[in-house]
């Protein structure tokens, strides 16, 4: 009874937060709703017995990815009202794609329910190892290339966020590596004879 109560609580808040991610007018509020959705999804993973996935969802997605989204949205200062113009003309196509995804989910869940072959609540239910070790065995053997590809995608997104927020300022002195490597003692050192009590002229 208590488990079902927590499931409906986490699931309801997660679905409501996911809807507010796309419905909120302020992009900063959308990112905050996304963080709330991640936290509730982590609660669902804990109820399923996948505590490692819940910890990864909090540490990686909430602590890194969502915060990166928040910084990028706040630093770019994009005019989202201008971007939202003309959205209604793409609404039928969006509804079509959403309907296809909903039909696929209903088919998958219906097939599991009819066949009775529901997934195990724990990643290590059929083995004698814990969840963390079972996930590691799967990720670094069968899905190692997909795992590395996901890491490359995250690296590219981080580099893209840095490039988008990097602005060139004319009055800021910047380091020039080729100019430093091209320096010689003749160009780097100037020997001048200074007379006593006179000093250097400007």
**pLDDT at site 126:** 52
DSSP string computed for 150-192: HHHHHHHHHHHHHHHH----TTS----HHHHHT--HHHH----
Q: Which residues of 55-82 are buried (b: 16+ CB within 10 A; e: fewer)?
A: eebbeebbeebbebbbebbeeeeeeeee
Q: Which of 49, 45, 74, 47 is nearest to 61 (CA)?
A: 45
pLDDT (0 to 100) of residue 121: 47
DSSP-derived secondary structure letter, 61: I
One digit per residue, the tens of pLDDT, for the chain of length 202 reads: 788 888 899 999 999 999 998 888 777 888 889 889 999 999 998 888 888 888 888 888 888 878 777 777 777 766 666 666 667 787 888 889 989 988 988 888 777 666 655 555 444 555 577 777 888 888 888 889 998 999 999 899 889 888 887 776 777 777 788 888 888 877 778 777 777 777 666 5
In the numeric block, which tokens belong to residue 169?
């300022």
pLDDT at residue 12, as a whole number = 92
The pLDDT score that the predictor gives to residue 96 is 92
| 125 backbone dihedrals φ, ψ, rounded to 5° | -70, -30
- Taking each helix axis from N to C end, the angle separating 144-165 and 66-76, rounded to the nearest 10 degrees, works out to 20
Distance CA 166, CA 77 (A): 13
């Amino acid at each position: 009874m208590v488990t079902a109560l927590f499931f409906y609580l986490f699931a309801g808040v997660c679905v409501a937060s996911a809807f507010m991610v796309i419905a909120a007018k302020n992009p900063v509020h959308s990112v905050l709703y996304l963080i709330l959705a991640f936290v509730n999804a982590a609660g669902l993973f804990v109820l399923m017995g996948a505590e490692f996935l819940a910890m990864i969802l909090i540490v990686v997605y909430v602590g890194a990815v969502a915060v990166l989204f928040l910084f990028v949205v706040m630093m770019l200062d994009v005019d989202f009202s201008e971007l939202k113009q003309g959205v209604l003309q793409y609404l039928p196509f969006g509804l079509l794609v959403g309907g296809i995804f909903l039909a696929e989910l209903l088919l998958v869940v219906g097939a599991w329910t009819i066949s009775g072959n529901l997934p195990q609540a724990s990643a290590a239910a059929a083995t004698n190892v814990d969840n963390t070790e079972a996930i590691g065995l799967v990720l670094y053997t069968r899905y190692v290339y997909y795992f590395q590809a996901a890491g490359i995608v995250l690296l590219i997104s981080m580099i893209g966020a840095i490039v988008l927020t990097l602005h060139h300022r004319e009055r800021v002195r910047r380091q020039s590596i080729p100019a430093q490597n091209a320096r010689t003692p003749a160009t780097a050192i100037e020997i001048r004879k200074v007379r006593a009590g006179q000093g250097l002229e400007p």
